[in-house]
């Protein structure tokens, strides 16, 4: 097949990991007879420096006209002034909204050979294989009014948390569809004991669960879910949450397995188009050194192949090659490789070698 992919390297280590992943995609193309055409565009701090905005029109145009988008990371200390009018994060938030990417899907799994990298005791890690499904275009991130003013002589900031039935229904439905291909269990996260928004969330989620009778479900308050995520992570399958709670819990979930640098994500909306990115950040401290772990981006590219291009065998081949490289003891510095650490490019090449060898 022929597919067009927008590449958004972004900031920090973004360009290094995206370039390395592009090599893996090219190897997939050669091996399986596909041709991927890339369009490289600006986002985040890099876009601010060059155009004055974090999300140039050309970038959105390219994302809209390609089959999928692969993103590195945005942000860094250079653009970190909280008072600045333009911030790199606006690129990310603006893109989610403009492309209608209402769902962020983040799988969390243990890799054989990395058990010792987790901050949790090995017995707690048994059976950890879960997926976060986070609502991405609503809730307190986008609700109006939001702003800053002065009230009774005091500086004040305010945000609004709003969820409509439609927004809740579609994200819980997506969680059920994902669970159906897994362990058929969805945990819905809310704060229904305090927040009106979250009472509506629980009502609508309950209705959706009733319509999906093959799915086991439970409701958990966000605070106790945060606790259970470290005391009994193996009990979860699919976790569905609103924008802010999903943001917080998915970072907590990401460190469970000690493989932050390995975890991918997909941001999805209606239709096949999606934006794929590793869940780690732009790591400015190691940017430009060629030592960043490219595997979170490589695994994001695997999700891209499966979800946006319907190339399931190709996606599985990439995932297997990554698992094999780790099982073979290959490590970048973040995975505890020490003096024997591979560079970004060497790790990508190790994956390509296994991809070609496995046949």
List the catalytic residues: 141, 191, 223, 247, 251
Closest CA to 161 of 205, 120, 192, 186: 192
Q: Are 259 and 114 in contact (CB under 8 A)?
A: yes
CA gap 112, 319 in Å, rounded: 13
Q: Which does 92 bind (CB under 5 to 8 A by kind): ligand IPM, Mg ion, none?
A: ligand IPM
Under the criterion CB under 6 A, does residue 247 sit at the interface with ligand IPM? yes
Strands (E) in the chain, as ranges, are 2-10, 35-40, 68-73, 103-109, 129-135, 143-151, 154-160, 185-190, 216-221, 238-241, 264-268, 274-278
Q: Give the per-residue contact string, 264-303, with Mg ion (x = CB under 5 A; - = no).
A: ----------------------------------------
Q: How many residues does the chain have?
A: 359
Residue nearest Mg ion, CB atom distance? 247
Q: How many residues bind Mg ion (CB under 5 A)?
A: 1
Tell me the closest approach of the beta carbon of residue 312 to ligand IPM, in angstroms. Answer: 26
φ/ψ (deg, to 5) at 112: -60, 130
Under the criterion CB under 5 A, does residue 135 sit at the interface with Mg ion? no
Pairing of strands 185-190, 154-160: unpaired
Q: How much of the chain is in helix, strand and coil states, percent to nearest 5?
A: 50, 20, 30
Q: Which stretch binds ligand IPM (CB under 6 A): 88-96, 178-186, 199-207, 302-310?
A: 88-96
Which residue's CB is nearer to Mg ion, number 247 or number 319? 247
Tell me, rounded to whole angstroms, the distance of Cα 311 from its chain centroid.
Answer: 19
What is the full DSSP assignment across 30-41? HHHT-EEEEEE-
- Binding to ligand IPM in span 268-287, by CB under 6 A: none
Tell me the closest approach of the beta carbon of residue 253 to ligand IPM, in angstroms. Answer: 11
Under the criterion CB under 6 A, does residue 89 sit at the interface with ligand IPM? yes
Q: Which stretch binds ligand IPM (CB under 6 A): 41-49, 89-97, 223-231, 234-242?
A: 89-97
CA gap 266, 268 in Å, rounded: 6
Q: Are 281 and 265 in contact (CB under 8 A)?
A: no
Q: How many residues bind ligand IPM (CB under 6 A)?
A: 4
Tell me the closest approach of the beta carbon of residue 186 to ligand IPM, in angstroms. Answer: 21
**Sign of the CA dihedral 124, 327, 293, 331?**
positive
Residue nearest ligand IPM, CB atom distance? 89
Which residue's CB is nearer to ligand IPM, number 12 or number 347? 12
Tell me the closest approach of the beta carbon of residue 89 to ligand IPM, in angstroms. Answer: 4
Of the candidates 92, 225, 303, 335, which one interacts with ligand IPM according to CB under 6 A?
92
Tell me, rounded to whole angstroms, the distance of Cα 3 from its chain centroid.
Answer: 22
CA gap 275, 71 in Å, rounded: 7
Under the criterion CB under 6 A, does residue 252 sit at the interface with ligand IPM? no
Q: Which does 200 bind (CB under 5 to 8 A by kind): Mg ion, ligand IPM, none?
A: none
Q: Which does 42 bind (CB under 5 to 8 A by kind): ligand IPM, Mg ion, none?
A: none
Closest CA to 139 of 86, 89, 201, 91: 201
- Indicate the helix (H) or strand (E) that contains 70: strand 68-73
- Binding to Mg ion in span 210-249, by CB under 5 A: 247
Tell me the closest approach of the beta carbon of residue 250 to Mg ion, in angstroms. Answer: 7
Tell me the closest approach of the beta carbon of residue 171 to Mg ion, in angstroms. Answer: 17
Q: Which does 89 bind (CB under 5 to 8 A by kind): Mg ion, ligand IPM, none?
A: ligand IPM
CA gap 7, 22 in Å, rounded: 9
- Indicate the helix (H) or strand (E) that contains 16: helix 14-32
Q: Which spans of this chain sit near ligand IPM (rule: CB under 6 A)?
A: 89, 92-93, 247
Q: Which spans of this chain sit near Mg ion (rule: CB under 5 A)?
A: 247
């Amino acid at each position: 097949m022929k597919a067009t992919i927008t590449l958004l390297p972004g900031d920090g280590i973004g360009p290094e990991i995206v370039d390395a992943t592009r090599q893996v995609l090219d190897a997939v193309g050669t091996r399986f007879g596909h041709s991927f055409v890339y369009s490289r565009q600006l986002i985040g701090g890099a876009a601010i420096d060059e155009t004055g905005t974090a999300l140039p029109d050309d970038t959105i145009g390219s994302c809209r006209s390609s089959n999928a988008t692969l993103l590195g990371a945005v942000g860094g200390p250079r653009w970190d002034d909280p008072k600045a009018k333009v911030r790199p994060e606006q690129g990310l938030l603006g893109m989610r909204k403009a492309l209608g990417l209402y769902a962020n899907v983040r799988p969390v799994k243990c890799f054989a050979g990395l058990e010792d990298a987790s901050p949790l005791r090995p017995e707690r890690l048994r059976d950890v294989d879960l997926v976060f499904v986070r609502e991405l275009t609503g809730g307190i991130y986008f609700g109006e009014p939001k702003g800053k003013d002065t009230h009774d002589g005091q500086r004040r900031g305010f945000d609004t948390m709003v969820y409509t039935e439609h927004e809740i229904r579609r994200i819980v439905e997506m969680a059920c569809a994902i669970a159906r291909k897994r362990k058929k269990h969805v945990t819905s996260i809310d704060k229904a004991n305090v927040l009106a928004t979250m009472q509506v969330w629980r009502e609508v989620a309950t209705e959706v669960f009733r319509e999906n009778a093959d799915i086991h479900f439970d409701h958990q308050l966000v605070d106790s879910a945060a606790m259970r995520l470290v005391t009994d992570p193996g009990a979860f399958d699919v976790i569905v949450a609103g924008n802010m709670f999903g943001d917080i819990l998915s970072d907590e979930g990401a460190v469970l397995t000690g493989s932050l640098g390995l975890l991918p994500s997909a941001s999805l909306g209606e239709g096949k188009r999606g934006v794929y990115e590793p869940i780690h950040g732009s790591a400015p401290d190691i940017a430009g050194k060629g030592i960043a772990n490219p595997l979170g981006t490589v695994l994001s590219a695997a999700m891209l192949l499966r979800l946006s291009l319907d190339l399931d065998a190709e996606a599985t081949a990439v995932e297997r090659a990554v698992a094999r490289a780790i099982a073979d003891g290959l490590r970048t510095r973040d995975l505890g490789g020490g003096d024997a650490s591979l560079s970004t490019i060497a790790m990508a090449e190790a994956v390509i070698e296994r991809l070609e060898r496995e046949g």
